[in-house]
Structure 1
Amino acid sequence: MNPKNLIPTQTRNEISGSQVKRLTKDVKKNGFDQTKPVDVARNQNGRLEILDGHHRTEAARKAGLNKIPVRIWGE
């Protein structure tokens, strides 16, 4: 799933810039950890909202990744 298509449910204030920076560096060096998919669920419009993994998703976006693993809940 392209991380740009995922809708955050946390505000920017709730996302730690230092943690995203550290994760972005790690993702660029080692790739996205495939054993830790981002948890998402479909909203009323059918779009995927992030339940867990906001920092990892933002790091993937900043690292320029076009695909990350997701686990869709409720399907």
Structure 2
Amino acid sequence: MKRIYFLILSAFVSAMAMAQDGGTTNVDVNLKGDGGAAGFPWLWVIGGIVFVLLLVALLSGGRGTDRVVHKKTIIKE
């Protein structure tokens, strides 16, 4: 069974290696763009605030449910 899996895996890997494009590559690097998310510092601030709020909510969420209940059973004869 392991040999069959190995044969299928090796056939798949060799097919992926043969499928690589051997043509020319044209890369266009645009350095004068808007910068993406780095151009919006307020986005990082809001993301940080949301992360901190989620962290606080997850870490302190179980504190209100930890209650100790004492029960007394009285048996009268």
Q: Looking at secondary structure, tell me which structure has more strand per residue.
A: 1
TM-score bracket, normalised by the shorter chain, equals under 0.3
What is the TM-score of this pair, normalised by structure 2? 0.22
What is the TM-score of this pair, normalised by structure 1? 0.22
